[in-house]
Amino acid sequence: MESSRTRLTIVRHGQTSANIDGVWHGSTNTPLTDHGRLQAAAVAAHIEANHRPIAHVYASPLDRAHHTAQAIAGPLGLTPSLETDLEEYDLGEWEGLTFETLWKEKKLFENMKRDPDFNPHRGESPKQVGDRLSGALRRIADHHPGERVVVVTHGGALSIALGILLDNDYTRWDRMMKNCAISELVLEPNPELVSFNLTEHLPCEDPPSP
C-alpha cells in the first residue's frame, strides 16, 4: 500500500564555486556560495511547507551537502545524520580538473561507460560509487518503513546510483539534478522515481552547471 512505502525526498546540495567554474570537486570539500545558501533556504522552506511530516534528514558529510541539510533540518526541529556513503564521486588525482579536460583529454565519461571498474586515477570506480550510494539509499529506506526522509547528496554519484536502481545499468542514466532541486524516490516493492529535478521553489534560475 502507498501509505506503507518509505518515500525518499532527495535534494542535491546548493551551488558551489565548482559548479560555476565547471570543475570537478568530488571529494573536495567546497563550501556553498552566497547563492547556494539562498537556494538551501528556499528548498528548506518548500520542504517544510509541502513535505511534512519528515522523520529524519540524512546528508553527505561534505560541507556543501551538510550545510544544505542543516538549513532543511532546522525548521523541522531535526539534526542531520551524516553518512559517508552519500558523498560525491571521488576522482582522486583528477579532482579539480575541468569538465572539458575530463571529457576531451581524460576520456572519463567514455571510459566510465565502457568499464564499471575504470579507475586509473587513485579515486573510485563507477561501480564503487554506484554500489555505495544505492546501498545507502536502501539502508536509509529500511530504517524508516512507511516514513518520509530527506536525503541530501551530490549530482554525479546520484546519477550513477539512480541508473543502477531504476535501470540496473548506470550507463543508461544521463540526467543530472540541479542544485537544490528535489526528486522523490520509493524503493519497495520496486524502485520508482515519483518525481525528478523539481526546481519551482528556487529563487531564480541556476547559473550554468555541468
- How do 81-82 and 148-153 pair as beta strands? unpaired
Percent of the chain with pLDDT over 70: 96
For residue 209, pLDDT beyond 90: no
At 205, the pLDDT band (50, 70, 90 cuts) reads: low
Indicate the length of the chain as a whole number.
210
Q: How far apart are the C-alpha atoms of 69 and 84, rounded to whole Å?
A: 14
Q: How far apart are the C-alpha atoms of 120 and 19, rounded to whole Å?
A: 24
pLDDT of residue 120: 84
pLDDT of residue 4: 75
C-alpha cell at 141: 529506506
pTM score of the predicted model? 0.94
The beta strands (E) that lie in the chain are given as: 7-12, 56-59, 81-82, 148-153, 182-186, 192-198
pLDDT one-digit tens code per residue, 20-54: 999 999 999 999 999 999 999 999 999 999 999 99
| Contacts by residues 158-161 (CB-CB < 8 Å, ≥ 24 positions apart) | 158/10, 158/12, 158/133, 160/89, 160/126, 160/129, 160/130, 160/133, 161/129, 161/130, 161/133, 161/134, 161/137
C-alpha cell at 124: 573510485
pLDDT of residue 1: 42
pLDDT of residue 208: 46
pLDDT one-digit tens code per residue, 137-167: 999 999 999 999 999 999 999 999 999 999 9
pLDDT one-digit tens code per residue, 1-17: 455 799 999 999 999 99
pLDDT one-digit tens code per residue, 71-129: 999 999 999 999 999 999 999 999 999 999 999 999 999 999 999 999 988 899 999 99
- How do 148-153 and 7-12 pair as beta strands? parallel
C-alpha cell at 54: 519528515
* Phi, psi (rounded to 5 degrees) for 4: -95, -5
Q: CA nearest 143: which of 25, 49, 34, 58?
A: 58
pLDDT of residue 183: 98
CA distances from 22 to 44, 73, 188 (A): 26, 29, 36
Q: How far apart are the C-alpha atoms of 16 and 23, rounded to whole Å?
A: 10
Active site positions, annotated: 13, 88
The rounded Cα 192 to chain-centroid distance in angstroms is 16
